[in-house]
Amino acid sequence: MNLPDSVRSYLDRQQFPYKLVSYPSNEALGQVAERLDISTRRLVRAVLLQDKNELLMAILPYSHLLDFPLLCQLRDFELEPLYGAETVQFFQTRGCKGDSRPPLPAAFGISALVDTSLPGEGEIFFESGSSDCLVNMAASDFGHLLTQARWGRFAIPAEDLDFLTNQQTLTPQNLNSLTNRYTPAQTRAGLESITELPAVPQTVQHLLALRAEANPSTQDIIRLAEQDATCAAQLVYWARAPLHGFRGPVDSLETAVERVLGPDRTLALLLGSSMAQTFRMPAGGPVGLQAVWQHSIYCAALVGELVKLLPEPPCVNPGLAYLGGLLHDFGYLVLAHVLPARLYLLNRFLAVNRHVPINDAERYVMGVEHGHIGAWLMQSWNLPEEVVSAVRWHHSEEGTHPFAEYSNLVLIANRLLHYVGLGEEHNNRLPALAMFTLGITREQAMAAVGQVHASMAELDTLCAVLPLPKEA
């Protein structure tokens, strides 16, 4: 529990008593509060914002959500969130470890806005910058540390939001009632336009036809891959990754497809890339082009490793499982293509409310979840029901729907990606029911993560070079 020098020296200079409370470094802040039985209203969090001239720190309880309209009224001009990587870099260059963000603006030489909902009495807790302990001090003393900050109301309690609890499948028939209930009237017309999905591109039709064949010809697959030289070259590069365990030279597309990747995995990569080319998406943000594509590639790779752990005979088709992992977040591409303004707002919301479960954030901001939209796209384009299940239910632990094995694999992979710094799940605990149902132990799952970790360089190159969706 070694505090960063900047934090320790600052707190010692203020001469207010404090103590450190340890916690496991791999737990999210909400999980830490639950473990230590701390009220989330007494857990303080920091959000970095920027305008044209300076950085600002917004300080509010973990139990509250930052409300941009209220914030901008308080400041009198527009503020933008500093996105994930930029925020991490800010704190790490000041000695902090991991993703720990101490709410101590004076220690870092920046101005602050403080929400008036912070407790004025009793105790408070906040991240220390060490990633394995919280600072605990009197709320009144913490208030004295913020005497130079501007105080006001810019946050709302999370429990005030009427989150969607209905998990019905999204169809054109129930989309209107879904959006009318949870979306402001002025945004409904935009959401209803999702009923008009893009037509299936010809290349995707060819790939789906090959995918539907019992034994697709590798030569047909190779001919399709050769239509994009960059994609073909990248498939060869990807086949050389240690993840595949192939010991011989991979010096041609034929070797990559026939001896290493196999028809199913090659078709999945080609299909995912070709489908993505239909849509336009902004590059930046928590659910921007770069983050979604990278997460999709990593998730597919990890699902591929998890499938190897299943008892014989396997209960899933490895190719369809890999494809489900690759396409599970494609609902974001549809939302970005059809409702770019709403996805922009979602990115802003997530950037400053990173503790909110992704599905709750989507229901609040968009009025619909990306899993609903993604599954609808898969159904409209006649992808296999196994893939539809993986896309629709990959955040659900219930596992009672048809083809739940596929969504369970993606759910487990999403939780495990936390260990390589890519987890999108608010909860990174491994789902016990899904693990038990599939017969995968924690030790096996962590070994699978190790295999993916060893191939991160190749995966990152695949993310960068494999044809991407068009940037909006």
Element (H, E) at 112: strand 111-115
Find all residues with CB under 8 Å of 12, minimum gap 6, and list them: none
Look up the CATH number of the domain holding residue 81: 3.90.960.10
Nearest to 144 by CA among 104, 108, 175: 104
The domain total for the chain is 2
CB 305 within 8 A of CB 470: no
In a domain, 166, yes or no: no
303 and 178 in a common domain: yes
User: Residue 138 burial (CB < 10 Å; 0-12/13-18/19+)?
Assistant: middle
Alpha helix segments (H runs only) across 26-166: 29-36, 68-75, 84-92, 105-108, 139-145
In a domain, 167, yes or no: no
Identify the domain boundary among 160, 186, 213: 160
Find all residues with CB under 8 Å of 44, minimum gap 6, and list them: 59, 60, 61, 62, 103, 118, 124, 125, 126, 142
Q: What percent of the chain has pLDDT over 70?
A: 88
Quick check: helix, strand or coil at residue 368?
A: coil
pLDDT at 192 over 70: no
Look up the CATH number of the domain holding residue 362: 1.10.3210.10
101 and 17 in a common domain: yes
193 and 46 in a common domain: no
In a domain, 461, yes or no: yes
- Supply the range of the domain harboring residue 255: 172-471
267 and 287 in a common domain: yes
Which residue type, as a one-letter code, is found at position 458?
Answer: E
Q: What is the pLDDT of residues 390-446, one digit of tens each?
A: 999 999 888 888 999 999 999 999 999 988 877 655 667 899 999 999 999 999 999
pLDDT at 179 over 70: no
Q: What is the pLDDT of residues 92-103, one digit of tens each?
A: 999 998 788 999
Element (H, E) at 413: helix 404-416
Q: How far apart are CA 275 and CA 271, in angstroms?
A: 6
| Other Cβ atoms closer than 10 A to 436 | 12
Predicted TM-score (pTM) of the model is 0.70
| Other Cβ atoms closer than 10 A to 173 | 8
248 and 101 in a common domain: no
Q: What is the mean pLDDT of the chain?
A: 83
**Contacts of range 33-36, beta carbons closer than 8 Å, 24 or more positions apart:** 33/62, 33/125, 36/125, 36/134
Confidence of residue 175 (pLDDT cuts 50, 70, 90): very low
Which residue type, as a one-letter code, is found at position 302?
Answer: L
Per-residue pLDDT, 424: 58
Per-residue pLDDT, 195: 54
Find all residues with CB under 8 Å of 437, minimum gap 6, and list them: 399, 404, 405, 408
81 and 203 in a common domain: no
CA–CA distance from 186 to each of 108, 179, 342 (Å)? 41, 11, 12
Q: How far apart are CA 325 and CA 298, in angstroms?
A: 8
pLDDT at 187 over 90: no
